[in-house]
Structure 1
Amino acid sequence: MGTLRLGTFIDRYTFRYEREYPHPPERLWEALTDAKHMDAWLMPKNRIEARLGGRFHFTFGQEDDPREWSGTVAEFTPPEVVDFAYDNGGHMRFELHPIEGGTRLYFIQSFSPDFRQDDMSHKAGGDLPGGPDTPWRPGFMAGFLIGLIDLDAYVAGHGPTVKDQEEMVKRTHAGVHGSDWVTLTEAYRKLVRKTIPGGVSKADQ
């Protein structure tokens, strides 16, 4: 993978990823706002009404995992900003800034202070090194960064596909993880523990 920027905590409940892409904002925009494209690099089963006030639904598409992230498009300014506001509080926001030779993308995840993250068995708790009152599960954070890396390849026209994403999700739910995910998960565990002290991770138990 080489050297990767993991991202930055803005506050206890907000995290920002930053990446540069050799593509203009207009090419990235469709991949960030059209469900058929997001299915290939983010989650394999999504529905989006790509307009201000439109509804969205993000899911893993697994029978054994009914979790769904739903909400309303709170900001929609092509090809600059799209903000997905969760029904249960918080946002998933993409900001695109043109730079020489491409685009700088800021991907910002924020949660309300009363949000509680569930693990893969749909139970509260699990690997939360920032403490039980924080939403930062290292495996999820690693998954989002891998998705942003895949976004580059997808927009360039050489993968991944929706089928690739479906197979990856099946492996993840079966507890089979790639080496990149394992490495990044540990890196995020350390970052959360360092930035938001006082939490206990599964790795410490």
Structure 2
Amino acid sequence: MKNKFAFPTGILFDFDGVVVDSFQSHFNAWNQAHIELFSTKIKEFPNEKLSGKSPHIIAQYFCDKAGYSEKGLDFFQLKAKYLHTSTIPPFLLPGVVEIQDFLSENKIPHGISSNATRLFVKNSIQQLNLGFTTFFGLEDYKYPKPHPEAYITLAKHLKIPKENYMNTWVFEDSITGTKSALDAGMIPIGILTMNSEKQMLEAGSQIVFSTLLEAYKYLKNLEL
């Protein structure tokens, strides 16, 4: 793959679908909460409709489907309880350790900004023994993705100057998160966990990789 970028001044990561495959973790928690609250299992999770969305939006979707629109907050909180008490970590995706070690060694500002809860991200990082020390979750912004606040909040914390946003990479697997990165004035880099290359490029990704492992190899070939 021919290099088309200068070395980034900062790298920001989404969490679900980029660092970890957490679908089963989230689905199990949603399902447990659904059984407790509505006495039925969730039949399916519409990824295309809900991928990357705030868990508040996901909770409201299932409550509307169940005929209990007023239960959105209760459902969200119950799902969070099941998610946060799980001792089974999500599945670590390829290249995460390599790229995080590389960025740390080269003192490149980096961190995680997720629409998942902060506690889920924190627990997962600890369970998987990852090296990320800077991470933000749903509670840390007024407006979750697709609003740009999530990535702007992280960039400010990492002390990335606004004039460097145009050379700040954002690894995202969802259309929702890609819009957040674009609207923050950053460079969205697609990870093909959920969507096709065509879908991610059409959404605004400037380049795509199958996993962070391929992205890591690409970065190593760029001049620092």
Q: Same fold judged by TM-score > 0.5? A: no
Larger-Rg structure: 2
Q: TM class by shorter-chain length?
A: under 0.3
Compute the TM-score of the two structures, normalised by the length of structure 1.
0.25
Higher helix share: 2
